[in-house]
Structure 1
Amino acid sequence: MHTTSLQKQQLGALLGPLFMIFILLALSLDIAWAKAPGGTVLPPPEPPFKGKIGQTYKDSKPDKIPVIKAPAGAPNILVVLIDDVGYGAWGTFGGQIPTPNLDKLAQGGLRYTQFHTTALCSPTRAALLTGRNHHSAGTGTITETGTAYPGYTGQIPKSTAMISEILRQNGYSTAFFGKNHNVPDWETSVSGPYDRWPGLQGFDHFYGFIGGEANQWAPALYRDHQPVEMQVPKGKEGRYTLNDSLADEAIKYIFQQKSVTPDRPFFIYYAPGATHAPHHVPKDWLDKFKGQFDQGWDKYREDAYQRQLKLGVIPPDTKLTPRPREIPAYDSLTPGQKQVAARLMEAFAAYTAQTDYEVGRVLDAVDQVGQLNNTLVFWIIGDNGASMEGQLYGSFNEMAALGGVQEDPAFILQHLDEIGGPNAYNHYPVGWAWAMNTPFQWGKQIASHLGGVRNPMVITWPDRIKDRGGLRPQFHHVIDIAPTILEAAKLPIPGEVNGVKQKPMEGVSMLYSFDQPSAESARREQYFEMFGNRALYKDGWIAAARHGRLPWTTGTYDFDKDKWELYDLTHDFSEADDLAAKHPDRLKKLQDEFWVQAKKFQVLPLDDRLAERTDPRLRPSLIEGRTQFTYYPGSIRIPESSAPPTKNTSHSITAHIEVPQGGADGVLVAEGGVVGGFSLYIKDGRPVYEYNYFTQARRKVTGSEVLSPGPAAIRMEFRYDGGGIGKGATTTLFVNDKKVGEGRIEVTNWGRFSADETFDVGEDTGSPVSADYASPNRFTGILKKVEIDIKPASVNTADQEKIKSMAVRSRLVVE
Structure 2
Amino acid sequence: MESEAAWPRIPTAPEGAPNIVVILLDDVGFGQTSTFGGLIPTPNLDKLASEGLRYNRFHTTAICGPSRAALLTGRNHHDTGNGFLMEWATGFPSYTTMIPRTTATVAEVLKDNGYSTWWFGKNHNTPDWETSVAGPFDRWPTGMGFEYFYGFNAGETHQYYPVLFENTTPVEPDKGPDEGYHFMTDMTDRAISRMRYATSVAPDKPFFMYFAPGAMHAPHHVTKEWRDRFTGAFDMGWEKYRDVVFANQKRMGIVPPDAELTPRPDWVAEWDSLSEQQKRVYCALFENYAGYFAFTDHEVGRLLDAIKELPDAENTLVLYIVGDNGASSEGGPDGTLDEIKNLSGILPSIEEILADLDKLGGPETEPHYPLGWAWAGNTPFQWVKQVASHLGGSRNPMVVSWPARVSHDPVPRDPFLHLVDVAPTLYEAAGVTMPDTVNGIEQMPLAGRSFLPSLTDPGFEGRGEQYFEILSNRSIYSDGWKANAQHTLPWRQDIAPGNWDQDRWELYHLEQDFSEAKDLAEAMPEKLEEMKHRFDEAAEKYHVYPLDDRGVARALIPKPTAPGSDPEALDFTFYAGATRLPETAAPSMKNRSWKLAARVTMEGAATNGVIMAIGGVAGGMSLYLKDGVPIFDYNYYGEHTTVRAAQPLPAGDAVVGVEFAYDGGGIGKGADVTLTVDGAPVGSGRAERTVFARFGVDTFGIGEDTGQPVTTDYRPPFRFTGTIDRVDIQLEPVELAPHDAAKVHETELRAVQRRE
Please tell me the TM-score bracket, short chain as reference.
over 0.9
Instruction: Say whether 1:90 aligns with 2:33.
Output: yes
How far apart are residue 803 of structure 1 and its match?
Answer: 5.9
CA contact (8 A) 1:667 1:762 kept: yes
Q: Which has the larger radius of gyration?
A: 1
- 1:511 alignment partner, one of 444, 452, 467: 452
Equivalent residue letter for 2:267: E
Per the alignment, residue 467 of structure 2 pairs with: 527
How far apart are residue 550 of structure 1 and its match?
Answer: 4.3
- 1:556 alignment partner, one of 462, 486, 496: 496
Identity of aligned residues (%): 49
How far apart are residue 610 of structure 1 and its match?
Answer: 3.4
Per the alignment, residue 509 of structure 2 pairs with: 568
- 3-state SS of 1:59 partner: coil
- 1:694 alignment partner, one of 634, 637, 651: 637
Equivalent residue letter for 2:470: M
- What is the rounded CA distance, in whole Å, between the counterparts of 1:143 and 1:300 in structure 2? 35
- What is the rounded CA distance, in whole Å, between the counterparts of 1:787 and 1:807 in structure 2? 33
Instruction: Say whether 1:269 aligns with 2:210.
Output: yes
Equivalent residue letter for 1:683: K
CA contact (8 A) 2:573 2:729 kept: yes
- 3-state SS of 1:135 partner: helix
Spell out, residue by residue over 1:72-99, the C-alpha distance to the aligned partner (whole angstroms, 9 max, x if none). Answer: 0100000000000110011100110000
Where do residues 66-77 of structure 1 align in structure 2 (5 Å cutoff)? Answer: 66-77=9-20
- TM-score normalised by the chain length of structure 1: 0.89
- What is the rounded CA distance, in whole Å, between the counterparts of 2:308 and 2:744 in structure 1? 51
User: Which segments of 5 or more consecutive residues in structure 2 lack a partner in the other structure?
Assistant: 751-756
With 794-803 and 294-303 compared, the bigger mean Cα shift is at 794-803
- What is the rounded CA distance, in whole Å, between the counterparts of 2:738 and 2:84 in structure 1? 26
- 1:542 alignment partner, one of 482, 495, 510: 482
Per the alignment, residue 102 of structure 2 pairs with: 159
Per the alignment, residue 724 of structure 1 pairs with: 666
Per the alignment, residue 651 of structure 2 pairs with: 709
Where do residues 372-771 of structure 1 align in structure 2 (5 Å cutoff)? Answer: 372-521=313-462, 523-557=463-497, 558-610=499-551, 612-617=553-558, 619-620=560-561, 622=565, 624-660=567-603, 663-695=606-638, 697-754=639-696, 756-771=697-712
- What is the rounded CA distance, in whole Å, between the counterparts of 1:435 and 1:625 in structure 2? 47
How far apart are residue 429 of structure 1 and its match?
Answer: 0.1
Spell out, residue by residue over 1:760-798, the C-alpha distance to the aligned partner (whole angstroms, 9 max, x if none). Answer: 110000111111100000000000111111112434999
- What is the rounded CA distance, in whole Å, between the counterparts of 2:627 and 2:285 in structure 1? 38
Instruction: Say whether 1:792 aligns with 2:733.
Output: yes
With 630-639 and 147-156 compared, the bigger mean Cα shift is at 147-156
- 1:181 alignment partner, one of 113, 124, 132: 124
Per the alignment, residue 224 of structure 1 pairs with: 167
How far apart are residue 614 of structure 1 and its match?
Answer: 3.3
- 3-state SS of 1:493 partner: coil
Where do residues 189-208 of structure 1 align in structure 2 (5 Å cutoff)? Answer: 189-208=132-151
CA contact (8 A) 2:61 2:468 kept: yes
- 3-state SS of 1:385 partner: coil
Per the alignment, residue 143 of structure 1 pairs with: 86
With 620-629 and 153-162 compared, the bigger mean Cα shift is at 620-629
User: Which segments of 5 or more consecutive residues in structure 1 lack a partner in the other structure?
Assistant: 1-57, 810-815
1:758 to 1:745, Cα distance in 2 relative to 1, 3 A: same
- What is the rounded CA distance, in whole Å, between the counterparts of 1:109 and 1:285 in structure 2? 28
- 3-state SS of 2:476 partner: strand
1:618 to 1:224, Cα distance in 2 relative to 1, 3 A: closer
How far apart are residue 412 of structure 1 and its match?
Answer: 1.4
- 3-state SS of 2:62 partner: coil
Per the alignment, residue 718 of structure 2 pairs with: 777
Per the alignment, residue 255 of structure 1 pairs with: 196
Spell out, residue by residue over 1:234-258, the C-alpha distance to the aligned partner (whole angstroms, 9 max, x if none). Answer: xx84533111001100000111010
CA contact (8 A) 1:145 1:808 kept: no
- TM-score normalised by the chain length of structure 2: 0.96
1:136 to 1:798, Cα distance in 2 relative to 1, 3 A: closer
1:548 to 1:669, Cα distance in 2 relative to 1, 3 A: closer
- 3-state SS of 1:369 partner: coil
Equivalent residue letter for 2:677: V
1:485 to 1:796, Cα distance in 2 relative to 1, 3 A: closer
Equivalent residue letter for 1:724: G
With 619-628 and 487-496 compared, the bigger mean Cα shift is at 619-628
- What is the rounded CA distance, in whole Å, between the counterparts of 1:109 and 1:749 in structure 2? 49
Equivalent residue letter for 2:174: Q
Spell out, residue by residue over 1:250-275, the C-alpha distance to the aligned partner (whole angstroms, 9 max, x if none). Answer: 00011101000111100000000100
- What is the rounded CA distance, in whole Å, between the counterparts of 2:741 and 2:8 in structure 1? 62
- What is the rounded CA distance, in whole Å, between the counterparts of 2:737 and 2:435 in structure 1? 53
Per the alignment, residue 753 of structure 2 pairs with: none
With 274-283 and 394-403 compared, the bigger mean Cα shift is at 394-403
Per the alignment, residue 22 of structure 1 pairs with: none
CA contact (8 A) 1:147 1:619 kept: no
1:798 to 1:335, Cα distance in 2 relative to 1, 3 A: farther
- What is the rounded CA distance, in whole Å, between the counterparts of 1:525 and 1:724 in structure 2? 47
Per the alignment, residue 214 of structure 1 pairs with: 157
With 552-561 and 784-793 compared, the bigger mean Cα shift is at 552-561
- 3-state SS of 1:629 partner: strand
Equivalent residue letter for 2:211: Y
- What is the rounded CA distance, in whole Å, between the counterparts of 2:370 and 2:523 in structure 1? 36
- 3-state SS of 1:401 partner: helix
CA contact (8 A) 2:61 2:388 kept: yes
RMSD between superposed Cα atoms in Å: 1.8
- 3-state SS of 1:472 partner: coil
1:150 to 1:648, Cα distance in 2 relative to 1, 3 A: closer
Equivalent residue letter for 2:651: P
1:529 to 1:803, Cα distance in 2 relative to 1, 3 A: same
- What is the rounded CA distance, in whole Å, between the counterparts of 1:472 and 1:281 in structure 2? 33
Per the alignment, residue 38 of structure 1 pairs with: none
Per the alignment, residue 754 of structure 2 pairs with: none
- 3-state SS of 1:302 partner: helix
- 2:48 alignment partner, one of 90, 93, 105: 105
Aligned length: 747
